[in-house]
Amino acid sequence: MSTSQTPDQWHGQSPTPISPADAYNGYIAANVVFALDRIGLLDRMERGEALYQDDVDTLTTMDTDRRAAVLRAAVGCGYLKAEEGVFLPTETGRDIARSRGYFTWAVGGYNEVFAHAGALSTGTARYDEDVHRDEAMVALGSGQADQSMFARQVQQAFEGVDFETLADLGSGTSARVRRVVSEHPGTRGFGIDISEPATAIARRNIAEAGLEGRVEAVCADALDLLAPNGGIGGAADADAVMSFLLLHDLLADPSTRADIFPRMREAFPRARSFVFADTMLRPVTGLDDKLPIFSAGFELAHAMMGVPLHPRETYEELFRCAGLRIARREPMATPHTWLYVLKAD
């Protein structure tokens, strides 16, 4: 089993207490980053390319005054430098463009949940009735993080996995299952996601990549699949199962928690390899005077949705009880997120 040191960014970069000015400006900056992505500028910023005012104007038919205001705010945040009709990405601007997945996740996906944290806490609003997350944005943000931060590590993890048919639970926009199947000639895969909008994006992406026939996106609840007598066509063929950033949702109900991994083995009887990643509860000793990116938002959002988070030890005990041996365990770039390759011997 390989275990590496946890990356520096797990241990915090933002000093606390966060001052009023930093808290306020951080909120605005997060919205500006998300807006830059929606306008379509972050790919070029990530590559360090200059943005010419004329170019920017041809990118979209959107209101030019409002777009100019977003660019001005990005200059104010230090992400762009303005020089006579040209905007040059700064190093921090390139870095934030690379990190865009966190902003799509938080601003695009959980904006409503965070904005109603008070109402959810006082009981004047209820999650999933009055307040919702935007599932497509959550899936898109995760897909962006996959591309910029996880791709190489996932590729290495799959070097030890022999498979013909890969099932992906909570596959989002299908970014990962498409990539893994593309990297392994002769294989096929299918993704299962509960979100119709995410599945629609996935189907579009599969068609655009010319992978129809090799990769399929199915809209279904993985918990139904894992319920007794549940199941979907194709599950019996899968000889490898992957699930990234979903397991905490599957483990939310304490009455079925211990059954999830044994049921997964029954639902995928041919599967010998399970490649999992999830963000876990921060150890109490990890809470110091600096906040890492993502962790506090992830913990707050799930508390508001009533989804408990678990420490690494709980996952490993559940794996062990399901007869899944840990062949590989590694920290990922996102704080408190662990990647596992498990084997059913």
Ligand X SMILES: C[S@@+](CC[C@H](N)C(=O)[O-])C[C@H]1O[C@@H](n2cnc3c(N)ncnc32)[C@H](O)[C@@H]1O
- Interatomic CA distance for residues 109 and 135, integer angstroms: 6
Give how many residues touch ligand X by CB under 6 A. 23
- Interatomic CA distance for residues 280 and 331, integer angstroms: 11
Q: How far is the CB of 293 from ligand X (least distance, A)?
A: 16
- Of the pair 74, 216, the CB lying nearest ligand X is at 216
Q: Is 143 in the site for ligand X (CB under 6 A)?
A: yes
- Of the pair 223, 326, the CB lying nearest ligand X is at 223
H/E element holding 246? none
Q: β-strands 165-169, 240-244: how paired? A: parallel
- Interatomic CA distance for residues 12 and 10, integer angstroms: 6
Q: How far is the CB of 176 from ligand X (least distance, A)?
A: 6
- Interatomic CA distance for residues 32 and 16, integer angstroms: 23
Q: Is 244 in the site for ligand X (CB under 6 A)?
A: yes
Q: Is 339 in the site for ligand X (CB under 6 A)?
A: no
Position 49, amino acid: E
- Of the pair 77, 251, the CB lying nearest ligand X is at 251
Contact (Cβ atoms closer than 8 angstroms) between residue 80 and residue 74: yes
- Interatomic CA distance for residues 19 and 267, integer angstroms: 50
Q: Is 217 in the site for ligand X (CB under 6 A)?
A: no
- Interatomic CA distance for residues 74 and 97, integer angstroms: 12
Q: Which of 90, 171, 187, 337 binds ligand X (CB under 6 A)?
A: 171
- Interatomic CA distance for residues 267 and 261, integer angstroms: 10
Q: Cα angle at 11 between 7 and 15, to 5 degrees?
A: 140
Q: How far is the CB of 175 from ligand X (least distance, A)?
A: 6
Q: How far is the CB of 77 from ligand X (least distance, A)?
A: 26
Q: Which of 77, 96, 245, 280 binds ligand X (CB under 6 A)?
A: 245
Joined together, the tokens standing for residue 231 give: 């199941």
Q: Is 239 in the site for ligand X (CB under 6 A)?
A: no
Count the neighbouring beta carbons within 10 Å of the beta carbon of residue 331.
18
Stretch that binds ligand X, among 10-18, 23-31, 36-44, 169-177 (CB under 6 A): 169-177
Q: How far is the CB of 95 from ligand X (least distance, A)?
A: 21
Q: Is 170 in the site for ligand X (CB under 6 A)?
A: yes
Q: Is 138 in the site for ligand X (CB under 6 A)?
A: yes
Q: Is 198 in the site for ligand X (CB under 6 A)?
A: yes
- Interatomic CA distance for residues 187 and 164, integer angstroms: 5
Residues 116-135 that bind ligand X (CB under 6 A): 135
Stretch that binds ligand X, among 82-90, 166-174, 260-268, 324-332 (CB under 6 A): 166-174
- Interatomic CA distance for residues 318 and 109, integer angstroms: 29
Q: Which of 51, 246, 324, 342 binds ligand X (CB under 6 A)?
A: 246
- Of the pair 107, 198, the CB lying nearest ligand X is at 198
Q: Which of 42, 107, 113, 139 binds ligand X (CB under 6 A)?
A: 139
Q: Which of 89, 108, 172, 335 binds ligand X (CB under 6 A)?
A: 172
Contact (Cβ atoms closer than 8 angstroms) between residue 279 and residue 10: no
Q: Is 192 in the site for ligand X (CB under 6 A)?
A: yes
- Of the pair 82, 200, the CB lying nearest ligand X is at 200
Q: DSSP letters along 277-335, please?
A: EEE-PPPGGG--SEEPSSHHHHHHHHHHHT-----HHHHHHHHHHTT-EEEEEEE-SST
Binding site for ligand X (CB under 6 A): 135, 138-139, 142-143, 146, 170-172, 175-176, 192-195, 198, 221-223, 244-246, 249
